[in-house]
Structure 1
């Protein structure tokens, strides 16, 4: 029964809650008080301590839900419903608010310029990086979705590629998602680049190995490592951003700039909102809107259509 109760939240969520709860337990333990069942006043003092040390709303919110989660799975009454606790979390939204530095988006022009630089390259490392960039952009992929792709998740069709997403942030019950990426007509065609990568890497498209892996030097040149180990976030970020900045310059971009760039290109091209929302696997309208940077024409259209 305990195993089933623990699975009421996803594995990553449970790990996050456990880490936050352990910090609370360490704090309250140093005061000689129990972490469970917790006294609402003690929780309020802990949240006050976090505010005094400059913690943001997200840290306090994580602490609150971690304590709530621990009491719930052990069958105790929820102490976080106390007004003091709730008001302190609300207060953290107005204090210690971090400065938001939103990343710039990657555009279609940027990607075509980048691929034109490597149009005749047979370097496996370069092609792998370009493939990750184009698939992320065209599929609106988060890095976790990209890095978790396995060879068998990819199916080449006539004029497009079908990619199965086994694990997604918005797919909590692991029902899976399927995205379709069409062939293009420029050097930045994601389907052609994916085929090029599969060919250069001698990848068995039916295998259960991760699609994107590290490389090593052999007497025959660069090859993908034999071990079935996904590419790390740190290494992928380093490779992808270095490639992108060769055409964008030193602007503020991140891996998520590809997902937001693809969504922006689709939204500003009058693609059906329902289709690109489904393509990006967004669970709500409010979440998808944060990824789109409206074009100048779209913004001006508001006042142009006022009849003035």
Structure 2
């Protein structure tokens, strides 16, 4: 089944809601980084959350989410944009902890309960916008919720879920984000809060065949939802040999000369997608010539 995100308005515009199925997207990340269950769930939840948050942006705008906890998984960095594209990596992909007390993947144990949660928005202006909150649980969904309330001043409920099979493959992944707008009445808020405690985890709903639309219906009531947009989502990295070449030029002549004289070539590996780019000695000489030219022009 295809991965996609839906945007909706509910209760006469007083509630804004998003839901996503991202099983293929997270599966692609798992394969590229060879992640084990706890790392897969931690990275996957962060990517799903970044896609939901990215859906609030315009198409060309971009966002980076950083989860820097004190757990064995290390830092998680995810990029997303307003067009449904995402990529991400986790410092230690090989974390597979025993199940937690609820019989679920121990994401909190992998991420840690102390650290910093950061969101950086690039809205095409001269400067980026950055917000930062402490990690409050390490479960990722609660950390997104806390960030939205404190940094974005938007009361929200964020649910993120990744189901991993015993062979480490991703069985289901998705999530939702419900935002309370000015004018929402207490009766509506109380109803949604009650439904949030009653509805099963998103990954379970997806595994059972529920669509993002039906997940919103379960959470908010079938008659209350106006779907505004359906947007495909996917793992997409924009790395290229040319971009890494620019990065090699930036390291300076001494480093480039060392690559030429000592290694007679170089390999660049993208952290986000794992793609590898080879640079022959001739490639490096051309990059060195360009670096020299740039220095003279300055």
- Normalization by structure 1: what TM-score? 0.24
Instruction: State which structure, 1 or 2, has the greater radius of gyration over its C-alpha atoms.
Output: 1
- Normalization by structure 2: what TM-score? 0.25
Identify the structure with the greater strand proportion.
2
Which protein has greater RCO, CA pairs closer than 8 Å, 6+ apart? Answer: 2
